[in-house]
């Protein structure tokens, strides 16, 4: 392996913040930097919901996307963990409670941590699992006030 996967945990500090909306914004940023992105959801229904959201978010912007099952040429693909393979993209945004298998296949892994305490336990376990693989995850706190100020 030529370089280790960079793992970033984005910790939502407020329940009013949506992991799905943040995933749209992060996907837009990665796409603008020329990366191919895969957003992993828990289920087909969640993938469809995110697909619908990406048509309107970020507001006033177009994020070219498609479902992973289709394997289109869109730079942002949405699917489930079982559909993920190493050729799908360079950047993975994980919205599931599971670790991404063989994360070294990717350049970056973005883990979104929900604000609700009962949902954070899975993220803690993923953080530990990635460290056991020799990766060095970094945490970033996402706060509504800081987010709004950065756009204002």
Indicate the domain borders of the chain.
6-151
pTM of the entire predicted model: 0.88
Determine contact, residues 2/107, Cβ cutoff 8 Å.
no
Query: Angle of helix 19-32 relative to helix 44-54, nearest 10 degrees?
Result: 60
User: Residue 2: its pLDDT value, please?
Assistant: 41
Alpha carbon distance 42, 35 (integer Å): 23
The domain defined by 6-151 folds into Rossmann fold (3.40.50)
> pLDDT-derived band of residue 1, with 50, 70 and 90 as boundaries?
very low
User: Residue 87: its pLDDT value, please?
Assistant: 66
């Amino acid at each position: 392996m030529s370089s280790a996967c960079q793992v970033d945990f984005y910790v939502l500090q407020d329940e009013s913040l949506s992991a799905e909306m943040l995933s749209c914004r992060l996907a837009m940023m990665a796409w603008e930097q020329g990366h191919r992105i895969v957003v992993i959801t828990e289920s087909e229904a969640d993938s469809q919901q995110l697909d619908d959201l990406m048509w309107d978010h970020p507001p006033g912007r177009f994020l070219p996307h498609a479902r992973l099952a289709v394997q289109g040429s869109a730079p942002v693909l949405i699917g489930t963990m079982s559909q993920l393979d190493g050729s799908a993209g360079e950047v993975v945004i994980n919205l599931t409670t599971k670790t991404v298998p063989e994360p070294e296949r990717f350049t970056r892994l973005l883990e979104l941590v929900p604000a609700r305490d009962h949902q954070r336990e899975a993220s803690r376990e993923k953080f530990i699992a990635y460290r056991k693989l020799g990766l060095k995850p970094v945490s970033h706190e996402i706060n509504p006030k800081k987010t709004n100020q950065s756009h204002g």
